């Protein structure tokens, strides 16, 4: 049997993605009701972090503990990976000792190589190219608050970064129309736009882009690893701040999402997260439930369901 991985949203079928987010909502309800559900007793998650994190680390580690399992935090500062041990060798060794692995790193090729040599499922917990776990939580949140996203209009505002690329995959997999409103020169990879032209368009004018939108999402202007571009980017993105008045131009039922951390006064106005249309706390919490559902799905042959 081949090992399944979750490196991008394309690794699962649309039906499997929907199954995972439906299950995530069930796990959310169980967690809120205080139901103890521990299908992972004796199971271990290897957590490789080469970049900083709050949400991803806490959600994976807490999720694993809630499931009765254990998460091992591995940073390059303390492991041989950080001293240049080949990824292939690390993957063989780590995957012989744990049941599942999540990796947050820079180069997407690193998670692909790790997955190739891993005996156990590998989850991409953010690379420079994609952030699929965030999209599971975002889709779960939209479905919980507004129902099916198929046929809806979603506008991505700002940098054509890893989050934007995962939104493009989500548009294809969940059947919504995505408008990307980015400053010239900061659009997502144009090959990606071409490949997904059936569901993605570039609309440089931010006010045009949000008209009639059901969901607006944005992210920081400078991602991790781009700190030295912060000042240039702040100038180039200055027209791309999401404000309450921008949301007023969208559909009356619009929601606003941000993967967080957010920079008030840059990509969002100071008061945006206080607006009831902003659902970022619900979205952030759903990282926990969506990833529990994801791990349960990837390890389904090893566990007993509640």
In 3-state terms, what secondary structure has residue 183? coil
Which position among 259, 284, 290, 293 is part of the footprint of ligand NVA (CB under 6 A)? 259
For 43, 54, 96, 300, the CA distances from 115, given in Å and listed in that order, are 19, 24, 13, 18
| Torsion region of 151: left, alpha or beta (phi above 0 gives left; psi -120 to 50 gives alpha) | left
For 17, 139, 297, the CA distances from 6, given in Å and listed in that order, are 11, 16, 11
Binding residues: 53-56, 80, 104, 131-134, 162, 219, 223-224, 259-260, 287
Q: Which is nearer to ligand CP, 19 or 53 (CB)?
A: 53
259 is a contact residue toward ligand CP (CB under 6 A): yes
219 is a contact residue toward ligand NVA (CB under 6 A): yes
CA distance 117 to 115: 5
The question of whether 219 is a catalytic residue gets the answer yes
Phi, psi angle pair for 101, to nearest 5°: -130, 140
Residue 129 CB, shortest distance to ligand NVA, in Å, is: 10
Residue 54 binding target from ligand NVA, ligand CP, none, CB below 5 to 8 Å by type: ligand CP
The residue from 23, 130, 131, 233 that is catalytic is 131
Tokens of 178: 């995505």
Which helix or strand (DSSP H or E) is residue 103 part of?
Answer: strand 100-104
Which position among 21, 103, 135, 163 is part of the footprint of ligand NVA (CB under 6 A)? 163
| Token pair 């199954």 in the structure block, residue | 19
Burial class (CB in 10 A: 0-12, 13-18, 19+), 265: exposed
127 is a contact residue toward ligand NVA (CB under 6 A): no
For the chain, first and last CA: distance in Å?
24
Which position among 13, 54, 189, 239 is part of the footprint of ligand CP (CB under 6 A)? 54
Residue 3 CB, shortest distance to ligand NVA, in Å, is: 26
Residue 118 CB, shortest distance to ligand NVA, in Å, is: 23
134 is a contact residue toward ligand CP (CB under 6 A): yes
Residue 81 CB, shortest distance to ligand NVA, in Å, is: 20
Length of the chain: 306
Which position among 19, 38, 44, 53 is part of the footprint of ligand CP (CB under 6 A)? 53
User: Is the CB of residue 114 less than 8 Å from the CB of residue 272?
Assistant: no
The count of residues interacting with ligand NVA (CB under 6 A) is: 9
The question of whether 18 is a catalytic residue gets the answer no
Residue 220 binding target from ligand CP, ligand NVA, none, CB below 5 to 8 Å by type: ligand NVA
**Cβ atoms within 10 A of the Cβ of 58, count?**
13
Query: Which span (99-107, 161-169, 210-218, 246-254) binds ligand NVA, by CB under 6 A?
Result: 161-169
Indicate which residues carry an active-site annotation.
104, 131, 134, 219, 259, 287
Residues that bind ligand NVA (CB under 6 A): 126, 161-163, 219-220, 223-224, 259
């Amino acid at each position: 049997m081949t090992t399944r991985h979750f490196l991008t949203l394309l690794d699962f079928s649309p039906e499997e993605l929907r199954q995972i987010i439906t299950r995530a909502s069930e796990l959310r309800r169980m967690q809120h009701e205080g139901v103890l559900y521990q299908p992972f007793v004796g199971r271990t998650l290897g957590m490789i972090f080469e970049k900083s994190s709050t949400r991803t680390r806490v959600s994976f580690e807490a999720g694993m503990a809630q499931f009765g399992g254990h998460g091992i935090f591995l940073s390059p500062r303390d492991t041989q990976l950080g001293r240049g041990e080949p990824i292939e060798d690390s993957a063989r060794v780590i995957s012989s000792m744990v049941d599942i692995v999540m990796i947050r790193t820079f180069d997407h090729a690193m998670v692909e190589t790790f997955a190739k040599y891993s005996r156990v499922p590998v989850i991409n917990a953010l690379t420079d190219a994609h952030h699929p776990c965030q999209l599971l939580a975002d889709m779960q949140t939209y479905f919980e608050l507004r129902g099916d996203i198929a046929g809806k209009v979603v506008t991505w505002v700002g940098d054509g970064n890893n989050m934007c690329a995962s939104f493009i995959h989500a548009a294809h997999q969940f059947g919504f129309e995505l408008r990307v409103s980015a400053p010239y020169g900061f659009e997502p990879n144009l090959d990606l736009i071409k490949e997904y032209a059936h569901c993605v368009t570039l609309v440089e004018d931010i006010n045009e882009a949000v008209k009639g939108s059901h969901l607006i999402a944005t992210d920081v202007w400078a991602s991790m690893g781009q700190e030295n571009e912060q000042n240039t980017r702040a100038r180039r993105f200055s027209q791309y701040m999401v404000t309450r008045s921008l949301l007023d131009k969208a559909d009356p039922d619009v929601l606003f999402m941000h993967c967080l951390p957010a920079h008030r006064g840059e990509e969002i106005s100071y008061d945006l997260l206080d607006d009831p249309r902003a659902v970022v706390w619900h979205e952030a919490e759903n990282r926990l439930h969506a990833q529990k559902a994801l791990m349960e799905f990837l390890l389904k042959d090893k566990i007993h369901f509640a």
